[in-house]
Amino acid sequence: QVQLKESGGGLVQPGGSLTLSCLASVNIFSLYAMGWYRQAPGKQREYVAAITRGGTTNYADSVKGRFTISIANTKNTIILQMNSLKPEDTALYHCNADLFRSIVTSPGVYWGQGTQVTVSS
């Protein structure tokens, strides 16, 4: 069983930045991929970004050029650096992972509880 724990959400003004972290209960190099999905009130859950254990990254078009996903030095943690935030980025952000496959086209098996990101003036 893999446990995921997010941190770093909060309230930020449009144009601001936030950094989200996801701590895994296992060495993330034992996972095929980790990343983020988000869900805004009244909307469907949507893919945000992912990184494989080989370091390959992928982003949704809506966040490309503004968000960066990376593996932290601790190796049990991934980071989502979010810059130039917009009100439409407001959502509950969930960490997601899978042992065996990509999480880009469909989410993996393991989920965190989520961390709220609110972009508002």
Rounded to the nearest 10°, the torsion over CA 84, 111, 70, 7 is 60
pLDDT of residue 73: 80
pLDDT tens string for the chain (121 positions)? Answer: 899 999 999 999 999 999 999 999 999 899 999 999 999 999 999 999 999 999 999 999 999 999 999 999 876 999 999 999 999 999 999 999 999 999 999 999 999 999 999 999 9
- Output phi, psi for 88, to 5 deg: -75, -5
Question: Among candidates 121, 116, 120, which has minimal Cα distance to 9?
Answer: 116
Strand partners, 26: none
Question: What is the C-alpha to C-alpha distance for residues 57 and 46, in angstroms, rounded to an integer?
Answer: 17
